[in-house]
Amino acid sequence: MIEITPNLNKNHKDPLYIQLYEYIKKEIETGRIPPGTRLPSIRKLSSYLRVSRNTVDTAYQQMMAEGYIESRPRSGLFVTELDDDFPVSQHKEYTSFDEYREYGPTAMEYTYDFRHGSIDQDSFPTTLWRRLTNQVCNGKDIYSYGERQGEIELRIELAKYLYQSRGVSCSPEQMIIGGGIQQLLGLLCLMIGLDGQSVAVENPGYDGAREIFAHYGFQVEPIEVNKNGLCLPQLYQSDCRLAYVTPSHQFPLGYTMPISKRMKLLQWAEKVNGFIIEDDYDSEFRYKGKPIPALKGIDSFDRVVYLGTFSKSLLPSIRISYMVLPEALLKKYKRFFYMYEQAVSKIHQLTLLLFMQQGHWQKHIHKMRKIYEKKHEVLRKAIKQHMGENVNVVGEDSGLHIIIEVKREETEESLIAAAKNVGVKVYSASKFWVNQKQNKNPQLLLGFGGLSEEEIDCGIQSLSNAWF
């Protein structure tokens, strides 16, 4: 008979049955108690250890649940046969985790961060948003899974907004809510599937979209961009049947696609029996005149997938984007993709719903447009004043960033490093190009959404001192 002699201690942090369980488990794992062995009966062991029968029973039960031992009723408990060529499981002692904290947001080595995608910190209506969130949390709706396409009420509100502000007429049924443009693009890739093995993308263009297409098995065809947007002859020459474009504000250059080219683009899609993906990521921030209607608004052929997001215009951290599908893709979605659970927080969705229903959204857009227009102006003036003829402003009609070309024979890396030395973070723009020309002047992206007007001016001044 195998002996079981654990050191049971009633004052130990773990209860008795756990101590017993851990002890026997270890004995089995190390092989001291070989497979097939009959363990002491519950009665014997409990009286030997002077603990209650239930204590032993619980420990045995736990091991049974995990499969270490087997019960043969009215016969005994036996250690399960294990393959002994299996390496003994050895838990690494887990590290203190403190070493990872350096990655956290506490690392503030930069005074001015011209990050793209940050928003104005002071103007987000924190109090209001919190109040609405509380209102939502008090409701009964947050304890179950949400609707898979996204909350219907929110989709209704979004459809209204799209009609009134972007000229897009769609039904809430066509709309799918998702956690960011990339996630929606992924779903879209699955839906379009192998019908379109090549996808045309703008060059320069959003690298995040390119990556998605590539990962989902598409051949990515970069198409040159000029002041009017995509170069159509190149598009026709390609064998693509799918194109990803940013017509309202070409990313990153900020160009607007004129109506004539929009129509030709739609005709292309009809001709090749394909689709156009319109990423309307930052159309809200057009500073000259009224916002331009979306491409989807004149999509008589029903070939445009419209993508919109709240990351730029409201708050990037709530992660809400949406997509409007044409009929053909909607059918596919309803048939094959309806079992996908919604990935966006229902709480945030319902909060946004209230925010829109009560009219705060429209107001917020107007307010932010003014604020960013002012910042945009300040940035342009600062560049002109402090840098003058040393740089060209390449894309300046875009909403929340500006691209400058530095007239120097230096690499972008060295300029970024020089900027870092004076506490300014700027970003390389070369990743937006697919086939970078070698002898091109370095181009840098300056996002200004998260900086105040003073910070923008000081930041540019520092940059100028560092570079020129």
Contact footprint for DNA (CB under 7 A): 10, 15-18, 39, 41-44, 51-55, 57-58, 60-61, 64, 71-77, 359, 363, 366-367, 369-370
| Residue 66 token pair | 């995990």
Residue 358 CA to residue 337 CA, distance in Å, equals 33
φ, ψ of residue 18 in degrees (nearest 5):
-70, -45
CA count, 13 A, side-chain hemisphere, 224: 8
Residue 87 interacts, among a second copy, DNA, none and using kind-specific CB cut-offs from 5 to 8 Å, with a second copy
Residue 289 CA to residue 397 CA, distance in Å, equals 12
Please check whether residue 16 is in contact with residue 55, taking contact to mean a CB–CB distance below 8 angstroms: yes
Residue 84 CA to residue 35 CA, distance in Å, equals 9
Residue 409 interacts, among a second copy, DNA, none and using kind-specific CB cut-offs from 5 to 8 Å, with none
| Residue 357 token pair | 């229903």
Distance of closest approach, residue 157 Cβ to DNA, in angstroms: 17
Distance of closest approach, residue 156 Cβ to a second copy, in angstroms: 4
Residue 42 interacts, among a second copy, DNA, none and using kind-specific CB cut-offs from 5 to 8 Å, with DNA
Task: Give, in degrees to the nearest 5, the angle at Cα 444 between 319 and 441.
Answer: 150
Residue 211 interacts, among DNA, a second copy, none and using kind-specific CB cut-offs from 5 to 8 Å, with a second copy
**Which of 372, 467 has the CB closer to a second copy?**
372
**Which of 432, 467 has the CB closer to a second copy?**
432
Residue 51 interacts, among DNA, a second copy, none and using kind-specific CB cut-offs from 5 to 8 Å, with DNA
Distance of closest approach, residue 26 Cβ to DNA, in angstroms: 18
**Which of 334, 370 has the CB closer to DNA?**
370
Residue 207 interacts, among a second copy, DNA, none and using kind-specific CB cut-offs from 5 to 8 Å, with a second copy
Distance of closest approach, residue 304 Cβ to a second copy, in angstroms: 12
Residue 74 interacts, among DNA, a second copy, none and using kind-specific CB cut-offs from 5 to 8 Å, with DNA
For the chain, the C-alpha Rg in angstroms (whole number) is 31
Burial of 49 (0-12, 13-18, 19+ CB in 10 A): middle
Distance of closest approach, residue 378 Cβ to DNA, in angstroms: 15
**Which of 124, 433 has the CB closer to a second copy?**
124
**Which of 52, 111 has the CB closer to DNA?**
52
Residue 380 CA to residue 215 CA, distance in Å, equals 37
Beta strands at 443-447 and 401-406: parallel, antiparallel or unpaired: antiparallel
Query: Cβ neighbours of residue 223 under 8 Å, at least 6 residues apart?
Result: 200, 201, 202, 203, 230, 231, 234, 235, 238, 243
**Which of 172, 391 has the CB closer to a second copy?**
172
Please check whether residue 181 is in contact with residue 309, taking contact to mean a CB–CB distance below 8 angstroms: yes
**Which of 128, 418 has the CB closer to a second copy?**
128
Selection from 404, 396, 395 nearest residue 373 by Cα: 396
Distance of closest approach, residue 408 Cβ to a second copy, in angstroms: 28
Residue 248 CA to residue 312 CA, distance in Å, equals 15
**Which of 41, 219 has the CB closer to DNA?**
41
Distance of closest approach, residue 111 Cβ to a second copy, in angstroms: 15
Residue 190 interacts, among a second copy, DNA, none and using kind-specific CB cut-offs from 5 to 8 Å, with a second copy
Distance of closest approach, residue 468 Cβ to a second copy, in angstroms: 29
